[in-house]
Amino acid sequence: MDIKENYIAVKKQLPEHVQLVAVSKTHPVSEIQKVYDLGQKVFGENKVQELVEKHPLLPQDIQWHLIGHLQTNKVKYIASFVDTIQSVDSEKVLAEINKEAAKHNRTINVLLQIKIAEEESKFGFDIPEAKAIFQKYLNGDFPHVNITGLMGMATFTDNENQVRKEFTVLKEIFDELSGLKPLQTLSMGMSDDFPVAIECGANSVRVGSAIFGKRDYSI
């Protein structure tokens, strides 16, 4: 399979209302350009350094999403151009994004990353923390960020019931917070589990290897 066939096959599986974030981490700009030329405008990277290197080499109308853990001291490198930061997992980093966005006179879209997986290693807010942050946001803290939704990663397992259960929890929190202020984006699902995620209510999926092929090293 080549990239074009992969891309078309993934797109075919997505209902109209589901956004595709093409996850291009570890793949060269030439491959990203190929997918862009097929009409894809939204790409995701998980490392600041890699994003900063690729950004000037590719079309400027790409909407870049940062999807990996973000250290506070690195926000400044992407604040001028990043479209959405999907991996906001602490109040500290949210406050820093707000500060850097203000310097550039812009508003940055963010998703709150929620810990839904059983695995200890996954980053993210627990549910009460996320609710508290969202409340502060509604009260007017962080005026230069736009919290547009939630992001989550399920446990890495073949047990589909487990994955389904975790996605369903995230969908419930999404609906609850949306009752306070409507949220647009529920980002869940990757190459191996995006069809299940969509069944559970995802309207944005982050798909890498199903488009670009296997990565040489695991991240």
* 188 binding ligand PLP? (CB under 6 A): no
* 23 binding ligand PLP? (CB under 6 A): yes
* 62 binding ligand PLP? (CB under 6 A): no
- Quote the least distance from Cβ 38 to ligand PLP, whole Å: 17
| Consecutive H or E run containing 211 | helix 209-212
* 68 binding ligand PLP? (CB under 6 A): yes
Contact residue for ligand PLP among 25, 55, 65, 122 (CB under 6 A): 25
Count of residues touching ligand PLP (by CB under 6 A): 15
- Quote the least distance from Cβ 44 to ligand PLP, whole Å: 7
* 57 binding ligand PLP? (CB under 6 A): no
Query: From start to end of the chain, where are the E strands?
Result: 19-23, 42-45, 63-66, 84-88, 108-114, 145-152, 185-188, 204-207
Q: Are 48 and 70 in contact (CB under 8 A)?
A: yes
Using the structure block, give the residue that is written with the tokens 């990043």: 82
Residues numbered 69 to 108 that lie near ligand PLP (CB under 6 A) are none
For residue 130, with 0-12 CB atoms within 10 Å meaning exposed, 13-18 middle and 19 or more buried, which class applies?
buried
Cβ neighbours of 49 (radius 10 Å): 10
Binding site for ligand PLP (CB under 6 A): 23, 25, 46, 67-68, 153, 190-192, 206-210, 219
